[in-house]
């Protein structure tokens, strides 16, 4: 393979990513071409593409072409049995057990709970005043994932939520990639704080698993036709404990623990950030907000969640937020079999990466790609290699349907019940968090409760 061009120092790229996470990859493509080689510490580096053809080559390849991209920090934080670190038959078998509770049908069963917890989470806004939107959305999404996994309420739910809230916020991308920053500093540094959070979370998860093994905890839930839904509607943990591989064996406690941890850590952060960006974009585009208001106000405040999920313009707005502000902007896998990528052969041992926002802002795919225009989703759909906010191929997020339902139900409660006016006259700058890209100030807004009008459509 001819040597690809690329930056010489990974630390400079990381530094720019910290400052400008959305601008760094377009600048690198403009300078080095697509694909380019990105050096990464302790590895042969990765080949980065932001072109739909490159993405199609990656997500369309035989899944056994790849193995997870492992770095020391993620293995420590996620655990060896994390789904993110599995490959081949182990990965396929694990996904087969984990996917059913997050399929479209069971996800509908969670929607009422999502609305209930969203309404409770926004209650503090009834007083009006200035709010930091991401603080509230993160509290809500965390409460939803805790309820969905464990049906935990009261003190138990608060304990799980406090444990998660304490630790991840202190971690930045630099700590994940630069080993010299991963020191505990007598127990006071951000790495030490994160390790304490991980330890407490693992202990709590093992306690919950032990309760289910002993026959305690919520009973399995059922669909309206009486058919059992494995772990649906707040009892996902019970479903995972009861689930069996094809050979009749179940998952070990550590396997369940690490896979629950995946869901908890990734599941609430991405939705909370997306909701913050949604408020930011609507605040900058009053015509979009007005059109969405017309659609939302046509429903009763207690409208059936299925009606909310089916709203076409709300769906288009959510899709456009995820296009311009994908929760994860850099997805990497390691190649174990040669892979042809846009005229280059990537050899085993090297990584391949998809720069997601670069894919989402391709002028050949999206007219005026940097503009916020939900209308683009009303008259066409996009292929998996053109739009991948939840990843693609064999590694596509199993919680995609859950995440979209959550985004719509929380947005309905927020926008139907409150008026929000952005505090800053300037658009929010993007900031790199541990794994996501969020608005730097969390979106500060002045909030005012709405007068809830009677509906033209009532919940059944």
Top pLDDT among 184 and 193 is at: 193
Residue 253: both structure tokens together:
């406690």
How confident is the model over 114-127, as a mean pLDDT?
A: 96
State how far Cα 346 lies from the chain centre: 28
Residue 275: closest CA among 327, 313, 310, 311: 327
Bridge partners (DSSP) of residue 355 are 330
Q: Which of 76-80, 209-213, 294-298 has the highest mean pLDDT?
A: 294-298
Residue 149: both structure tokens together:
């996994």
The per-residue DSSP string of 162-192 comes to HHHHTTGGG--HHHHH-GGG---GGGTSHHH
pLDDT at residue 267 in the model: 73
Residue 177: both structure tokens together:
């990639």
pLDDT at 37 over 90: yes
Do 192 and 185 touch, CB atoms closer than 8 A?
yes
Q: What is the pLDDT of residues 195-205, one digit of tens each?
A: 888 888 889 88
pLDDT at residue 229 in the model: 38
Q: C-alpha distances in angstroms, 143 versus 126, 194, 203?
A: 19, 20, 19
pLDDT at 305 over 60: yes
How confident is the model over 24-40, as a mean pLDDT?
A: 94
Question: pTM for this one?
Answer: 0.90
Count helices and strands in the chain by DSSP H and E runs: 17, 14
pLDDT at residue 215 in the model: 80
Q: C-alpha distances in angstroms, 190 versus 170, 179, 184, 195, 197?
A: 5, 13, 7, 9, 11
pLDDT at residue 263 in the model: 82
Do 320 and 377 touch, CB atoms closer than 8 A?
yes
pLDDT at residue 104 in the model: 81
pLDDT at 379 over 80: yes
pLDDT at 459 over 50: no
Cβ count near 216 (within 10 Å): 10
Residue 207: both structure tokens together:
């306690």
DSSP state of 457: B
Q: Which residue has the tokens 């909310």?
A: 308
Q: Which residue has the tokens 């139900």?
A: 409
pLDDT at residue 178 in the model: 66
Q: Where are the alpha helices (DSSP H) in 70-189?
A: 72-78, 88-98, 104-121, 133-150, 154-165, 173-177
pLDDT-derived band at 271 (thresholds 50, 70, 90) equals very high
Do 141 and 414 touch, CB atoms closer than 8 A?
no
Question: Mind spelling out the 3-state secondary structure of 295-362?
Answer: HHHCECCCCCHHHHHCCHHHHHHHHHHHHHCCCCCEEEEEECCCEEECCEEECCCCEEEEEHHHHHCC
Q: What is the pLDDT of residues 90-101, one digit of tens each?
A: 888 888 888 888
Q: What is the pLDDT of residues 328-374, one digit of tens each?
A: 888 999 999 999 999 999 999 999 999 999 999 999 999 999 999 99
Percent of the chain having pLDDT more than 90? 55
Residue 149: closest CA among 255, 8, 268: 268
For residues 35 and 347, what is the distance between their CA atoms, to the nearest angstrom? 14
Top pLDDT among 11 and 413 is at: 413
pLDDT-derived band at 187 (thresholds 50, 70, 90) equals low
pLDDT at 158 over 70: yes
How confident is the model over 12-40, as a mean pLDDT?
A: 92
Q: Which of 289-298, 390-399, 434-443 has the highest mean pLDDT?
A: 289-298
pLDDT at residue 408 in the model: 98
């Amino acid at each position: 393979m001819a040597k690809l061009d690329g930056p010489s120092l990974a630390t400079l790229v990381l530094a720019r990513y910290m400052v400008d996470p959305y601008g760094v990859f377009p600048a690198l493509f403009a300078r080095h071409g697509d694909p380019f080689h990105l050096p990464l510490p302790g590895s042969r580096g990765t080949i980065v593409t932001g072109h739909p053809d490159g993405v199609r080559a990656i997500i369309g390849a035989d899944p056994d072409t790849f193995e997870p991209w492992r770095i020391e920090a993620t293995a420590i934080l996620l655990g060896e049995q994390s789904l993110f670190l599995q490959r081949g038959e182990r990965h396929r078998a694990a996904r087969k057990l984990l996917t059913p509770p997050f399929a479209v049908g069971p996800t509908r069963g969670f929607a009422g709970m999502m609305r209930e917890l969203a309404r409770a989470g926004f209650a503090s806004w009834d007083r009006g005043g200035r709010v930091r939107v991401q603080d509230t959305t993160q509290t809500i999404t965390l409460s939803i994932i805790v309820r969905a996994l464990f049906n935990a309420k009261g003190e138990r739910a608060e304990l799980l939520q406090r444990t998660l809230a304490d630790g991840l916020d202190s971690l930045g991308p630099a700590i994940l990639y630069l080993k010299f920053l991963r020191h505990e500093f007598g127990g006071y540094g951000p790495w030490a704080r994160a390790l304490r959070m991980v330890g407490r979370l693992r202990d709590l998860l093992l306690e919950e698993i032990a309760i289910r093994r002993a026959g305690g905890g919520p009973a399995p839930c059922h669909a309206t036709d009486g058919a059992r839904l494995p772990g649906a509607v707040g009892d996902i943990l019970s479903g995972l404990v009861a689930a069996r591989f094809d050979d009749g064996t179940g998952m070990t406690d550590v396997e369940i623990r690490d896979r629950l941890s995946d869901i908890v850590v990734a599941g609430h952060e991405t939705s909370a950030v997306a909701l913050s960006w949604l408020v930011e974009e609507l605040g900058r585009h009053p015509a979009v907000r007005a059109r969405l208001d017309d659609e939302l106000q046509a429903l009763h405040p207690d409208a059936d969640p299925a009606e909310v999920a089916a709203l076409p313009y709300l769906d288009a707005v959510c899709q456009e937020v995820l296009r311009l502000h994908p929760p994860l902007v850099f997805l990497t896998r390691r190649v174990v079999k040669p892979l042809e990528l846009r005229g280059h052969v990537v050899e085993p041992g090297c990584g391949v990466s998809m720069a997601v926002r670069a894919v989402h802002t391709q002028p050949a795919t999206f007219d005026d790609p940097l503009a916020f225009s939900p209308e683009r989703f009303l008259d066409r759909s996009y292929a998996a290699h053109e739009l991948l906010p939840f990843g693609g191929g064999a590694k596509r997020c199993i919680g995609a349907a859950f995440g979209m339902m959550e985004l719509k139900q929380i947005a309905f409660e927020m926008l139907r019940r409150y008026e929000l006016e952005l505090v800053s006259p300037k658009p929010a700058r993007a900031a790199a968090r541990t794994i996501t890209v969020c608005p730097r100030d969390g979106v500060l807004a002045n909030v005012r409760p709405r007068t809830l009008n009677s509906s033209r459509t009532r919940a059944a």
